[in-house]
Amino acid sequence: ETGVTQTPRHLVMGMTNKKSLKCEQHLGHNAMYWYKQSAKKPLELMFVYSLEERVENNSVPSRFSPECPNSSHLFLHLHTLQPEDSALYLCASSQDGQGASYEQYFGPGTRLTVT
Partner 1 sequence: QKEVEQNSGPLSVPEGAIASLNCTYSDRGSQSFFWYRQYSGKSPELIMSIYSNGDKEDGRFTAQLNKASQYVSLLIRDSQPSDSATYLCAVFDRGSTLGRLYFGRGTQLTVWP
Cβ proximity of 50 and 66 under 8 Å: no
Q: Does 102 bind partner 1 (CB under 8 A)?
A: yes
- Minimal distance in Å, beta carbon 99 to partner 1? 11
32, 48, 74, 76: which one binds partner 1 (CB under 8 A): 48
Q: Nearest Cα to 110, choosing from 88, 81, 85?
A: 88
Cβ proximity of 95 and 6 under 8 Å: no
User: Residue 78: beta bridge partners?
Assistant: 19, 64
Q: Does 43 bind partner 1 (CB under 8 A)?
A: yes
Residues that bind partner 1 (CB under 8 A): 2, 31, 33, 41-43, 45, 48, 50, 53, 55, 88, 90, 96, 101-109
